[in-house]
């Protein structure tokens, strides 16, 4: 082991030396490593105009590409390094893939995120002057990884639970609960990792904008659609504002089933009872909300509307009610909207949101609800597509409306 | 979006159809997907003799390899799929990399783990008749992701905290604390993800073998040594029993510094006070233990021996005291071992462990301590190398000795 240690130290010193030599690279002066990079990785880098610089050491590759919605071909230099500079990217979190000789995978220079039915690269592009999803000097809640046995699925299921900052201090207080679901291709990790929901909640609670609440993030299924080996990367997020999303996208489907098991049944019969038994919850319907993004939004609509004895707050982010334009709102979802006054009394918040670059008719849907007398709250995330910044902003708008 | 949904559904049906056709593959009959696979991924697979079967769809690649300590070349079939069958693997968790045309990265078919200063593939090889690190029908604790601001590092630091199953029920009970550190190239995620420490603790506590305790897993640094782009995979774990580890390994170094900041100082001045202020701890030295693997073991020895007013239990797993064979035990570590009776009275447990395949002289070190009158407890993990099964077993042996 001692010999190995010496080797490592020498390598480190040598690497440090190399870094010094590279400081002459003009890109280093105008850009800095993305916050999503692996520790110490110098690339990918971002400049003040949100251009990303990629640099990949693959001397034996025939072709190197980056897919961040749009596919970029990298150019090989004499030193075996392939490089490319992207056009300015939209702020927020974007999935991307590195493609070598046609094989797409997670770039080892970045952190990986479970996003397309498997682990993929992500790059966080800073948003100027915005800090609601950043850690601040406020009391912090915790995200707990918990396990419960599902007799329906016949296996242990992992479930993440955010407890608010005062949960461990006010040891007799009970809290309302928001069930918050991921999209297709993602899993129960999405909201606390890509979504930074813990910082969003910490900050809202600290500012008195949201009530302290428990947030439960369970696995809603739909995360195994990508089992075929792929040779092209998923287009999770268009790299350019307004670009059209292409192909199957994270969060772009129904996926009620997880390994042949119905998530709605698990949530109602197992997850909620587990949470109410193991956390200090307020367990009546007036203190229970559900929201989700994309597939999770569709699940939310389907589950809450069929269980209005259990939920009083509903949020669909980039995924909401599904019916044809000429359907009669009175008739859809088993007639739950037929008596608008009764619905509005029961459902305290009915919230639908979308990214403006998604090109979806969510505003029109919300307007149709309003015309039918349903109190629909609409939020549009400016300039963002079917991606996490849309959903961070949606949560930041939705959570303050809850339990008031 | 509706058009996308239809596309996804059709693709899913088509994929399902393909799967049916492939059932004739004889490998499918004698093997099953590794539990570390991405959801729904059919490969890599493992058979009853612990051989791994890899299958990679890379029709345009010139060369495809797997590195799981030993490097295997895959063979290209007519259909563009590359395949290989490994020799029988040692049970437990192994890092591995997929290499295409010389570029090493995490296999998208498997989950990724932060293991070599970046995200890498892992494969869990089942261990016959062993379930101490599996979820069982016992009360479960939770692993909490928490954040604290470090004035020393001038940034927020993430810290994982395991709370025992009864922590939320016995709301006035206070608990002893084990500080448990990862190895080089890993981070605060290692113990709860690769190490499955939560299940180990749940099971030990349920059987009455270990006292309920809080376990804190902080970032000990040393996780940015691998910042040079690599063209060969790190040899995290020899694939065969007794094979010699090659090159820099996860957990193979000192790495006291994290971004130029001393972890020992952060732990003593910031992490411990944060934990004692925010969890119901017993905060005297008799109720505080520290252990770590590899680099984390060396950190443990260095930190605890310099702070015996704060720690009464010490564990070094595949990483312990470092001194030359002809050094006088009386003199090393500022003479802390000079009075064996005083040391034994103060340090309730002094535990050193190693994997038998590591080829390290840990037993001799422990014997030397014993000869000098120091109560050294030695544990050897049979058949395992510098890898997680050694460390799961070490924790399973060490935790029952604590706080008794």
From chain A, the residues in CB contact with B249 under 8 A are 4
The pLDDT, as a whole number, for residue B260 is 52
Give me the residues paired with residue A157 across strands: A148
User: Under DSSP, is residue A80 helix (H, G, I), strand (E, B) or coil?
Assistant: coil
- Whether cis (ω within 30° of 0) applies to the bond prior to A44 is yes
Distance from CA of A131 to the nearest CA of B (A): 14
Overall average pLDDT of the B186-199 stretch:
97
Residue A101 Cα distances to A232, A245, A344, B61, B290, angstroms:
10, 24, 56, 6, 47
Cα distance from B401 to chain A (closest Cα, Å)? 26
Which chain B residues contact residue A12 at CB under 8 A? 225
Q: List chain A residues with CB under 8 Å of B190.
A: none
Q: How many residues does chain A have?
A: 404
**Closest approach of A143 to chain B, Cα-based (Å):** 5
Beta bridge partners of residue A171, listed in sequence order: none
Cα(B247)–Cα(B69) distance, rounded to whole angstroms? Answer: 10
- Chain A residues with CB inside 8 Å of B138's CB? none
Least confident of A278-292, B203-217, B327-341: B327-341
Using CB atoms, which residue from B101, B119, B254 is nearest to A111? B119
Interchain CB distance below 8 Å, A103 and B56: yes
> Would you tell me which residues 196-215 of chain A have a C-beta closer than 8 angstroms to some C-beta of chain B?
198
A364 by Cβ neighbours in 10 Å (0-12 / 13-18 / 19+) ranks as: exposed
Pair of tokens at residue A82: 């392939």
- The terminus-to-terminus CA distance of chain A in angstroms comes to 61
Please, are residues B251 and B319 in contact by the beta-carbon 8 Å criterion?
yes
Of A118, A169, A245, which to mutate for an interface test with B (greatest number of B Cβ within 10 Å)? A118
* Residues in chain A within 8 Å Cβ distance of B172: 171
Is the reported ipTM for this assembly greater than 0.90? no
Q: How far apart are CA B149 and CA B390, in angstroms?
A: 33
Chain A contacts in chain B segment 110-139 (CB below 8 A): 111-112, 117-120, 135, 137
pTM of the model: 0.88
Q: At what angle do helices A197-206 and A388-398 cross, to 10 degrees?
A: 30
pLDDT tens figures, B79-92? 999 999 999 999 99
With a cut of 50, list the residues of chain A below it in pLDDT.
1-23, 225-259
Percentage of chain B with pLDDT > 90? 79
Distances (CA, A) of A376 to A72, A370, A403: 41, 6, 17
What digits encode the pLDDT tens for the residues B1-44? 344 443 444 444 344 444 444 446 789 999 999 999 998 899 99
Decide if B404 touches A, using CB distance below 8 A: no
- B39 at interface of A, judged by CB pairs closer than 8 A: yes
Q: What share of chain A is helix, strand, coil (3-state, %, to 5)?
A: 25, 25, 45
Mutation choice for B interface testing from A10, A55, A119 by most B CBs within 10 A: A119
* pLDDT attached to residue A185: 92
pLDDT per residue over A209-249, tens digit each? 999 999 999 999 987 644 333 333 333 322 222 222 333 33
CB B317 within 8 A of CB B395: yes
């Amino acid at each position: 082991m001692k010999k190995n240690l010496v080797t490592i130290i020498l390598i480190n010193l040598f690497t440090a030396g190399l870094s010094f030599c590279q400081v002459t690279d003009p890109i280093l002066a105008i850009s800095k490593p993305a916050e999503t990079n692996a520790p110490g990785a110098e690339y990918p880098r971002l400049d003040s105009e949100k251009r990303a610089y990629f640099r990949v050491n693959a001397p034996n590759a025939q072709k190197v590409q980056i897919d961040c919605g749009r596919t970029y071909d990298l150019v090989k230099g004499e030193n075996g390094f392939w490089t490319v500079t992207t056009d300015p990217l939209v702020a927020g979190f974007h999935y991307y893939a590195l493609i070598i000789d046609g094989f797409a995978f997670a770039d080892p220079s970045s952190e990986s995120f479970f996003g397309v039915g498997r682990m993929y690269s992500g790059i966080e592009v800073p948003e100027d002057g915005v800090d609601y999803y950043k850690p601040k000097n406020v009391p912090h809640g915790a995200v707990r990884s918990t396990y419960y046995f599902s007799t329906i699925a016949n296996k242990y299921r992992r479930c993440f639970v955010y407890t608010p900052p005062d949960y461990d201090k006010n040891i007799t207080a009970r809290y309302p609960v928001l069930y918050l679901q991921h999209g297709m291709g993602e899993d129960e990790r999405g909201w606390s990792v890509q979504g930074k929901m813990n910082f969003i909640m910490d900050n809202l609670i600290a500012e008195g904008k949201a009530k302290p609440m428990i947030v439960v993030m369970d696995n809603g299924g739909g995360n195994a659609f990508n089992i075929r080996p792929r040779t092209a990367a998923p287009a999770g997020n268009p790299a350019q504002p307004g670009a059209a999303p292409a192909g199957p996208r994270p969060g772009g489907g129904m996926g009620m089933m997880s390994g042949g098991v119905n998530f709605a049944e698990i949530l109602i019969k197992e997850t909620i009872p587990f949470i109410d038994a193991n956390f200090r919850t307020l367990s009546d319907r007036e203190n229970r909300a559900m929201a989700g993004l994309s597939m999770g939004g569709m699940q939310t609509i389907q589950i809450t509307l069929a269980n209005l004895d259990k939920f009083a707050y509903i949020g669909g982010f980039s995924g909401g009610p599904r019916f044809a334009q000429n359907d009669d709102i009175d008739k859809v979802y088993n007639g739950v909207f037929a008596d608008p006054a009764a619905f509005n009394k029961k459902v305290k918040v009915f919230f639908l949101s979308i990214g403006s670059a998604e090109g979806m008719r969510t505003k029109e849907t919300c307007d149709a609800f309003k015309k039918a007398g349903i109190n629909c709250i609409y939020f549009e995330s400016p300039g963002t597509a079917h991606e996490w910044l849309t959903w961070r902003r949606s949560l930041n708008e939705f959570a303050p409306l809850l339990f008031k």
